[in-house]
Amino acid sequence: MNDQLLLKNIRNALIRLEETIIFSLLERSQFKQNQPAYAPGALGGVFGTESLVEYMLHETEKIHAGMRRYSSPDEHPFFTDLPAPLLQPLRYTENPLAENSVNVNGELLQAYTGTLIPALCAPGDDAQYGSTAVCDVACLQAMSKRIHYGKFVAESKYQGAPERYDTLIATGDRQALDAEITDKAVEKALFQRVANKAASYSGMFLETHLAEAFQTTVTDIYRDIIVPLTKRVEVDYLLAAKR
Amino acid sequence: MNDQLLLKNIRNALIRLEETIIFSLLERSQFKQNQPAYAPGALGGVFGTESLVEYMLHETEKIHAGMRRYSSPDEHPFFTDLPAPLLQPLRYTENPLAENSVNVNGELLQAYTGTLIPALCAPGDDAQYGSTAVCDVACLQAMSKRIHYGKFVAESKYQGAPERYDTLIATGDRQALDAEITDKAVEKALFQRVANKAASYSGMFLETHLAEAFQTTVTDIYRDIIVPLTKRVEVDYLLAAKR
C-alpha cells in the first residue's frame, strides 16, 4: 500500500493538524464575533456580493493557487475560479486517491460562519475585521485540510476490504457506508485528546473560565462540524471514486 | 496617559503575542529549511527578482493593505508599494505615537532568512515551498508586530520622564538611550517565560529532544533577533519622533 494510505501515517497527520486547528481557533478567539465581516455585500464596492471574509479567502486562494497549493491531493479550495499555478508542477509522490471531485468546503464555510464563530467568539464588534479575516482564513484552511483527509482514510479502508466496500457502494446505501467507516472507539479517543489539548494550550494563558469555555467549544467543533464533515467526505469519496 | 501607552497594557499585548509567535514558529518547524524558497529570482518568471517567500509576503501585504492593515499604528509592512485601503478608514482610537517612519522589517527579513530558518528547521528540502511560504508570512507578521510594539514602549517610557529623554535625544547618543530603555530584570523574565512556553507547547506533541531543541531555538530567537530589534525600534523611534 502507498505510504500515504497507511492508517498510522494518516492518523499522525491528523493528530498534528489538531495543533494547527487549535492554535488557529485560539488566535481567532481573541477577537469578537464581528458579524459585519461575514455579511455578504455589506462592505460594498470592490467586494461585490462577497463578505469581507470571503473576499480575503478568495484573494488568498488566488495567491496560493499560483503557488500550486491546489494541485496537491490533500488541498481543496473554497473557490473554483482560481488562476493556474505559476510554479512548475511538483513531481508529487504518486497520488494514491482515485479520481474524484469531492469538496465540502461550501458546507464548512456555512458551519463556520453560522455555528462556529458564534460559539467561539464573544458577541459584539471590536472593528478588527482585517485581523478577524486573516484568522478565519487560517482556521478554514486548516479545518478543510483535516476534513478532506477523509479521502485518504476512506481509500485506506477501501483497500483493506475492497469487496465489502464494493458491495456497499453498489447499493449506494450511504447509511451502511457511514456505519462501515465509523469506529466509535477512535472517535471517543479523538474527542478526549482534542479536549485535553484545547484545555492545556488555552490554560497556559487564558483565565480558567475562558480556558474551560474554549475546551468545550473545540470539542463541540470536532463533534458537530469536523468529524461529521470528514465522514461525509469519506462516504462521498467512496461513492464518487472512479475506479 | 493614553490607555495604549500604559506599560501594563503593552506588556499584556506582548505576552499574548508570544503565543502567536511560538505557534507560528512551531508550524514553520514542521517543514525543512527549503532554501530554494528564499533564493532571489530562483523561481524566475512572474517572481522577477523576488524569492518565492518574498513574493508570497508581497502579495499577502497587497491584500492586507486593501483591508487597511497598515493604517493601524501597530502594523508595519515589509513592502512600500502597496495599494490604498479598499475599506473606509477606521475611526481608530487616537494614535498615541509621535509622527515617525521607523520600520526595521528589512533587518527582520534578513535575520529571519539568514539566521532563524537555519536554526529552526531541519536542513534539506521537502519541496513544500508553498506551505513554507505561508508559514513564513505568519511568522514574519507576528514578529514584526511584536518588534514594532517597541514604539509604544518607547513612547510610554518617554512620557514617564520626558526631560531625561529629551536630554539624551538631544545628544543623539544611541548607546545612552539603549541603556536608559533597558531593564535587565524584565528581559531575564521574558527569556525565562518564553523558554517555558516553548517547552510546554512543543512538549505536548514533539519528541523530547525535538521539544528541547525548539525551546533553545525560540529563546535564541528572542535574545538574538526579537529583543535587539525591539530595542532598535525604541531607540530609532525616540530619535525620529517629531514632537
What does the alpha-carbon distance between residue B63 and residue A96 come to, in Å, rounded to a whole number? 35
Distance separating alpha carbons of residues B213 and B227, to the nearest angstrom: 20
* pTM for the structure as a whole: 0.93
Please tell me if residue B27 touches chain A, with a CB cutoff of 8 Å: yes
Segments in chain B below pLDDT 50: none
**Is A68's CB within 8 Å of B26's CB?**
no
Chain B residues with beta carbon closer than 8 angstroms to that of A20 = 27
Task: State whether residue A87 sits within 8 Å of chain B by CB.
Answer: yes
Q: Which residue has the cell 541603556?
A: B179
B84 close contact with A: CB closer than 8 A: no
Exposed (0-12), middle (13-18) or buried (19+): which is A106, by Cβ within 10 Å? exposed
CA atoms of B93 and B28, how far apart (whole Å): 34
Cell of B210: 525535538
Is the distance from CB of A143 to CB of A23 less than 8 angstroms? no
Three-state SS for B242? strand
How far apart are the C-alpha atoms of A66 and A88, rounded to whole Å? Answer: 10
**Among B227, B30, B145, which Cα is nearest to A134's?**
B145
Mutate to test the interface with A, among B22, B53, B131, B134 (most CBs of A within 10 A): B134
User: Which grid cell is B64?
Assistant: 492586507
What span, in angstroms and rounded, lies between the C-alpha atoms of A122 and A189? 29
User: pLDDT per position in chain A (243 positions), as tens?
Assistant: 788 888 889 999 999 999 999 999 999 999 999 999 999 887 677 778 899 999 999 999 999 998 889 988 999 999 999 999 887 766 656 789 999 999 999 999 999 999 999 999 999 999 889 899 999 999 999 999 999 999 999 999 999 999 999 999 999 999 999 999 999 999 999 999 999 999 999 998 899 999 999 999 999 999 999 999 999 999 999 999 998
How many residue pairs bridge chain A and chain B with CB atoms within 8 Å of each other?
74
**How far A53 CA sits from the closest chain B CA (Å)?**
10
A residues 149..208 contacting B (CB < 8 A): 197, 200-201, 204-205
Decide if A52 touches B, using CB distance below 8 A.
yes
Contact B204/A204, CB-based, under 8 Å?
no
Nearest to A90 among B52, B127, B204 (CB): B127
Contact A69 B27 (CB under 8 A): no
Q: Å from B27 to nearest chain A CA?
A: 7
pLDDT of res. B14: 93
Q: CA of B80 to nearest chain A CA: how many angstroms apart?
A: 19
CB contact (8 A) between residue B130 and residue A201: no
Report the gap between the CA of B127 and the closest CA in chain A (Å).
8
